[in-house]
Structure 1
Amino acid sequence: MKDLQSNSSASLPVYETFYAFQGEGTHIGRAAFFIRTIGCPVQCSWCDSIGTWHKDHLPSKIEKIPVVELAQMARMSGASFAVITGGEPAIYDLTALTTALHDQGLQTHIETSGAYSIRGDFDWITVSPKWNMLPLAENVQKASEIKIIMENADSAEEWWNEIGEYCLPNEVRLSAPDIWLQPEANSLSVELLDGITRAVKSHPRRYRAGVQLHKVYNCDMLDPNSKAPISLK
C-alpha cells in the first residue's frame, strides 16, 4: 500500500458521508460531518452499521473518494469538525485525510474499536472497545473518551477489569477520560438501564450515562446522502 501521508491524490473507500449532529459522548448535540468508511473485521452481531461490512449489503461498486474531496465536502457542510467512523476506520492510514481536513480548518474526530493502530492526526479519539477484538492498550491510553456498549447490566465492571488500568491519567493524557455507558440499542431493558444507573452512582468520577440522541431525532436521515440502517434479521 502506498504511503498516504505523502500522496496528495490519496483516496479512501467510503460507505457514506452525511451532515448531522454528534449523537453520543462529550460532543453530543454538536453539528458534525460524518465520513463512514467501508470494512470492519470486528463485526459485532448488534452492529448498527452492518452495511459497511456484511457481504449481503456491500454496494456492488465500492466508491473510493479522494481525501481532498472529502475535506472539501466537510468544509462546505458548515460543521466545525468531521467524525471519521465506520465500520472500523483505523484499518486505513488516515493521515492524508486528517491533514486535508485540518487544511480546511476542521477538527478531526475518530470513532474506533481501538483494535488497530490509529494513523492520523486526531483532535479527539473515541474508543469503543469490543470483545470480538480487544483494543490495543496504546489506544485506550490516548483516548479522549471511552464508550462502552452495555450488553448486560455487568458490562461496565467487566470492561473496567479488562481495560481500567489503561484509563488512568498518563503522560499523554493528564486526566482520566470520560467513560460513557451506552445501552446496546436492541436491549433497552429496565434491568440494563438500571445497571447503568447503579454503575454511574457507584462511580460518579468514572462513568457517565450515555444515549444515542441521533436516533431519537433521526437526524442522520435528514441528509439525503445518509443510508438507511440495515439489519441482519
Structure 2
Amino acid sequence: MEGKAKTLPVHERFHSWQGEGVHLGRSAFFIRLFGCPVHCPWCDSAGTWHPDYVPKNVERFTADQLADEASKSGAKFAVITGGEPTIHDLSDLTTALKERGIGRHIETCGGFPIRGDFDWITLSPKWQKLPLMDNLPLASEFKLIVEDAESIGKWISTIGSSFSEGRPVWLHPEWSQHGNAEVLETITRCVKERGDPYRAGYQVHKLYRADLLDPNSRESAPLGGDESKGY
C-alpha cells in the first residue's frame, strides 16, 4: 500500500512578478512556506512564523498540487520563499516543477542545507543565522539587508570573500528604513565607490502592491510581528 503523499505547509501561493534582483519585473509564481527559526526583528513575512499571526489551521499541499497551480499561472518560473524555505525538504517540489518545465528559484538566508534542484538561488544572509559555508558558492545572487550605515561594511568583512563580479550583490534598505536618508546614502556611496558586483536594490513590488492583486496573496503581518513597527 502506497504511503500518503508528502505535503508542505503553505502560507500563500500567488501569481505576481518578481520585485527584486536580476529577475525584477518578470512574471513569477510565488510559493511562500510556513516556518522560520531565524526570527529577524524586521521580518516582512512574520505571518509565516510569529505565534500571533500564524493561523491555527495551516493549509498543506502536495508538490504536484503546487506545481500544477504554478503551471496554470503561465509563469515561467516559481519562487519558493518563506519564512525560511530550506527548513523543508524541497526535492519533491523542485522535481514536480521541473517536470512541468517551470524554473525553480529560491530565496533563502543560506543558514540551512538546501535540499532540491534549483536553477536560481538568491542568498540573503541574516545575522541571526549566518549562511553555511557550503551554500555561499551556490548563490546566483546575494541580497544584503542594509539596516544601518554600518551594515554593508560588516557583511563585506564577514562573507565578502564570496562576492565576485559574476554574481550581483544587491543592497536593499531594510523596509522600515526605506525612507532613511543615511541608509540610502550609504547604499549609493557603496555602489559608486566599489562598483560591480554591488548594486542598489529595492522591493519594487511593494510600491505597486502587485502581490495583492492575486486573491491568494495575504496582507503582510507587521514588520517582525510587532504592531509598533507596522507599515
**Which TM bucket (shorter chain)?**
over 0.9
Pair 1:112-2:108 in alignment: yes
Tell me if the contact between 1:141 and 1:167 (Cα under 8 Å) persists in the aligned partners: no
Give the TM-score taking structure 1 as reference length.
0.92
Per-residue deviation, 1:8: 8.8
Residue in 2 that maps onto 1:50: 46
> Take 1:8 and 1:137, find their aligned partners in 2: how far apart are those partners?
35
Residue in 1 that maps onto 2:98: 102
Name which of 131, 139, 145 aligns with 2:141. Answer: 145
Residue in 1 that maps onto 2:201: 210
Amino acid at match of 2:155: W
> Take 1:154 and 1:162, find their aligned partners in 2: how far apart are those partners?
12
Runs of 4+ in 1 over 3 A off after TM superposition: none
Q: Secondary structure at the match of 1:87?
A: coil
Residue in 1 that maps onto 2:125: 129
Residue in 2 that maps onto 1:157: 153
Amino acid at match of 1:198: R
Pair 1:79-2:75 in alignment: yes
Residue in 1 that maps onto 2:169: 179
Amino acid at match of 1:71: A
> Take 2:15 and 2:45, find their aligned partners in 1: how far apart are those partners?
16
> Take 2:204 and 2:4, find their aligned partners in 1: how far apart are those partners?
36
Give the TM-score taking structure 2 as reference length.
0.93
Pair 1:223-2:214 in alignment: yes
Residue in 2 that maps onto 1:88: 84
Amino acid at match of 2:210: C
Q: Secondary structure at the match of 1:192?
A: helix
Q: Secondary structure at the match of 1:17?
A: strand
Tell me if the contact between 1:137 and 1:166 (Cα under 8 Å) persists in the aligned partners: no
- The total of aligned residue pairs comes to 221
> Take 2:207 and 2:113, find their aligned partners in 1: how far apart are those partners?
32
Per-residue deviation, 1:156: 1.3
Per-residue deviation, 1:141: 1.4
Q: Give the share of equivalent positions with the same residue, in percent.
A: 52
Cα RMSD (Å): 1.2
**Unaligned ranges ≥5, structure 2:** none
